[in-house]
Amino acid sequence: MELIGPFSQILPLTNLPLKGALHDEQLLAIEHGGVVTDGGRILEVGDFKALQRQYPDCDVTHITVPSVLLPGFIDCHTHICFDGSRNRDYAMRIAGKSYLEIARAGGGIWDSVMKTRAADQETLMNNTVARANRHLHEGVTTIEVKSGYGLNLEGELNMLRAIQDAASHTKATLIPTCLAAHMRPKDFEGSEEAYLNWIITSLLPLIQSEQLAHRVDVFIEETAFTSGPAKHFLQQAADMGFAATVHADQFSTGGTAVAVAAGALSADHLEASDDAAIALLAAADIVAVVLPGASLGLGMHYAPARKLLNAGATVAIASDWNPGSAPMGDLLLQAAVLSAAEKLSTAEVFAALTTRAAKALQLHHIGQLAPGFLADMQAYPCADYRDILYYQGKMKPTRVWKEGERIK
C-alpha cells in the first residue's frame, strides 16, 4: 500500500457524464490531494492530510514540487505497428501534390503495406514497443493498435502476433484490432465483396483461434470499402463475436450510418460528417472519435467536435498515429490544438482522452482516479491544471505510473 502526495491538484475525472458538452466546474479538482494505491489499483483519493491520518502505517511517497495528477490518457485509435517511412508522401503533399499523384508515385497505404510485409515479426514488435513506450512516457497508458498493413494471411497474422508480443514487452496496455479491411490489396484478385468475405472465412477464424484480437475495423470510403459490403462484413464479424469500430466520414459521408446500424463501439475520423451524421452519432450509444493528428498530417479541416458535443455525442480524441496521414503521434499536442480550433473546454478534452476513450474500448476500470480503478496516473509540473492545455502539449508529465508502478 502506498500513499502518494500531496499534489497541488488532483483531477479524478469521476462522475463526468459520458455524453455531451462539459464545463470546467465539473472537473471538481481536489487541492492538496493524495492517492492511496494497493496492488496496482486505487484504494482511495482525497485530502492528503486526511489520508495520512486514515492510513498511518502506509508507505508515503512525498511530492515536494508543484504537481497536477490526472488519470493516464487512453489513445483509442492508432496504427503504430508498421515499418518504413512515408516522408516522400508527406514532402509531395506539402509541395501541393494530389492524393492521386502521390499514389501514382508509389505512395499511400499500399507503400506501407509493402514495407510492413517485408519486415519480420521481431522488427514490427520492436517498432511497436518503441512507439508505445514513447506514448507511455507522455502519459498515455492504454493504446489501441490496429493491423491493416499486412492485407494477406501472413502479413495480417505477422502484425497481430507482433502486437501481441509487444504487449508483453511494454508496460503500456495494448488493445489489438484487426484492420484487414483497410483497403483491397492490389494483389488480391477479386471484388471488394470477395476480399471482405475472405477476411470473414479465412482470416478471422485464425485470429480467433490464436486470440490475437476481438475487434475489427473497416475503412469506409469510395477508395476503400463501400457502405453495403462494409455493413454486411460488420454483421458477419459481429456474428462471430467481434466488436466493431469504423473509419467513417473521413473524406465523404456514409460511414457513420453504417457504424451506427452495425452497433459499432465507435465511428472514427468524421472530418466530413454533416448534420445528419452528427444527429445519428448523438442519438446512438457510440463514441465519436476525432483524430486531429490526421487533419494536421493531411493539412485538412478538423472533425466537427464542437457540433458533436453540442448535439449530445460522446466525443473521444485519439492520435491515429500512422506512417501516412498522422506521423506525429503526440496525443496531448493534437488534443490541445484541436481544443483551440474547435473551442473545446478543458473538461471536454480531458474526458475525451480518458473516460470517453475508455468507453470506445469497452474498458471499465481505467480513465478515472476512483477506488477500484487501475492506478494508471500521470503528474504534470504545474500547480494549476489549466497550464496543461495552455502550453499546447509542450509540457509533458514528469511522472507516470502504470498500475501503481512508477515508470517515469
Residues of the shown chain interacting with ligand NIG in the complex, contacts defined by CB under 6 A: 79, 109, 112, 219, 247, 250, 294, 320, 322-326
CB 378, CB 140: distance < 8 Å = no
Please state, in angstroms and rounded to a whole number, the distance separating the CA atoms of residues 24 and 164: 38
112 or 266: whose CB is closer to ligand NIG? 112
Residue 107's SS3 state is: coil
- Minimum distance between the CB of residue 323 and Fe ion, rounded to whole angstroms? 11
CB of 83 to ligand NIG, least distance (A): 12
**Residue 116 Cβ vs ligand NIG, minimum distance, rounded to whole Å:** 10
Query: Which 3 state secondary structure label does DSSP give 271?
Result: coil
Q: How far is the CB of 160 from ligand NIG (least distance, A)?
A: 17
Residue 359 CA, distance from chain mean position? 11
Closest CB to ligand NIG among residues 109, 287: 109
Comparing CB distances to ligand NIG, the nearer of 8 and 112 is 112
Answer yes or no whether residue 271 interacts with Fe ion by CB under 5 A.
Answer: no
Does 320 help bind Fe ion (rule: CB under 5 A)? Answer: yes
CB 343 within 8 A of CB 396: no
324's contact among ligand NIG, Fe ion, none, with CB below 5 to 8 A by partner kind, is ligand NIG
Residue that the C-alpha cell 499511400 belongs to: 108
- CB closer to ligand NIG, 48 vs 219: 219
User: Taking CB under 5 A as the rule, does residue 221 contact Fe ion?
Assistant: no
Give me the residues paired with residue 46 across strands: 34
| Piece of the chain touching Fe ion by CB under 5 A; list 54-62, 100-108, 127-135, 316-324 | 316-324
217 binds Fe ion (CB under 5 A): no
Q: Binds 281, which of Fe ion, ligand NIG, none (CB < 5 to 8 A, cut-off by type)?
A: none
Q: CB count, 10 Å around CB of 280?
A: 20
Give the Cα separation of 216 and 258 in Å (integer): 14
CA–CA separation, 371 and 46 (whole Å): 11
Name the binder of 8 from Fe ion, ligand NIG, none, CB < 5-8 A by kind.
none
What pairing do the DSSP bridges indicate for beta strands 173-181 and 215-219?
A: parallel
What, of ligand NIG, Fe ion, none, does residue 48 touch, CB below 5 to 8 Å by kind? none
Q: What is d(CA 22, CA 301) in angstroms, rounded to the nearest whole number?
A: 23
- Asked if 74 and 43 touch (Cβ cutoff 8 Å), the reply is no
Q: Which does 112 bind (CB under 5 to 8 A by kind): ligand NIG, Fe ion, none?
A: ligand NIG
Report the Cα 215 to chain-centroid distance in Å. Answer: 14
- Residue 104 CA to residue 100 CA, distance in Å, equals 6
Shortest Cβ 388–ligand NIG spacing (Å): 26
When CB distances are held under 5 to 8 angstroms depending on the partner's kind, the choice from ligand NIG, Fe ion, none that residue 144 binds is: none
CB of 271 to Fe ion, least distance (A): 12
State the binding partner of 219 from ligand NIG, Fe ion, none, CB within 5 to 8 A by kind: ligand NIG
Q: Which residue has the cell 502550453?
A: 391
For residue 292, give the nearest of 320, 254, 315, 323 by alpha carbon: 320
- Tell me the residue number closest to Fe ion, measured at CB: 320
List all residues 6 or more positions away from 128 whose beta carbon is below 8 Å from its beta carbon: 80, 81, 145, 162, 163, 166, 170, 174
State which residue has the least CB distance to ligand NIG: 324
Closest distance between Fe ion and the C-beta of residue 41, in Å? 32
Residue numbers of the site for Fe ion (CB under 5 A)?
A: 320
